[in-house]
Amino acid sequence: MIQIQQIPVLQDNYIYLIHDTDSDETAVVDPAIAEPVLSTLKENNWQLTYILNTHHHADHVGGNRELKAATQCKIIGAKSDSKRIPAIDIVVQQQEIITLGKHSLEIIECSGHTLGHIAFYLAAANALFCGDTLFSMGCGRLFEGSAEQMWQSLEQFKKLPLATQIYCAHEYSLANAKFSLSVEPNNAHLIKTIEHIRQLRENKRPTVPTSLQQELATNPFLRTNSSEIKSMLNLPTATELEVFTELRNRKDTF
């Protein structure tokens, strides 16, 4: 059986522990800092086997060296970005498989936010650990990649099962909701979702994971064929990539 534990850190980051109860192996996804991870491992009596890094930003790899020194775990990251992942041991690329016990995690290359960004898809738990590529009602800023790269990355995610849980790395839902409503104000699913996440945040509860099904219904960056969004952007005949590019540009200055 797979257990997933969410650890909130810094201002709005989420670290995820993935534990396989049969093999007793444990992986941590994007450890921004080490201490909360070590504390949670101790509380659960788990031993860390792997660090899974989606990309090289400091708030995703900041705990790498300390965790490796404390646990002798192996660090896994993208082959194409290996020089920027601290203390990396194992390099991976598109469609390669790593295992946690008997369970497989598939590598999905998803550049856009950064070059060399990857996601980890754990089919056994209907779970996608996507770093800063996809958020609840949003997507990552384009710090290194192009709009086309990010759009193509999100198109890969859209092909996953609807039940897939999206374990993104930040609590950005409320801010993303405001932008989403500005470009699709009559989306009933979106309106209902916003009310739900407001209640969650008022009670200091996380709004993620979200689901792919929910994102397809509410996230403008996955809804580039929406006639209302195209109308609001004054792009009635634009391609989906053109719509995505305009959405990303507007979100940057929203």
pLDDT in tens, 46-87: 999 999 999 999 999 999 999 999 999 999 999 999 999 999
pLDDT for residue 47: 97
Q: Which residues of the chain have pLDDT under 70?
A: none
pLDDT value of position 204: 93
Q: What is the pLDDT of residue 90?
A: 98
* Per-residue model confidence (pLDDT) at position 228: 98
**pLDDT of res. 198:** 95
Spatial strand order in the sheet of 25-29 = 2-9, 13-20, 25-29, 50-52, 74-78, 90-92
CA 206 to the chain's CA centroid: 14
pTM of the complete model: 0.97
pLDDT of residue 114: 98
Token duo for residue 22? 């049969």
Q: End-to-end alpha-carbon separation of the chain, Å?
A: 42
Q: What is the pLDDT of residue 241?
A: 98
Q: pLDDT tens for residues 203-227?
A: 999 999 999 999 999 999 999 999 9
> Of the candidates 179, 150, 166, 146, which has an alpha carbon nearest to the alpha carbon of residue 212?
166
Question: Does domain 2-252 correspond to CATH entry 3.60.15.10?
Answer: yes
pLDDT for 16: 98
The answer to whether 252 touches 158, Cβ cutoff 8 Å, is no
Give me the residue spans of the domains in the chain.
2-252
179: left (phi over 0), alpha (psi -120 to 50) or beta: alpha
User: In terms of Cα–Cα distance, which of 45, 80, 48 is closest to 64?
Assistant: 48
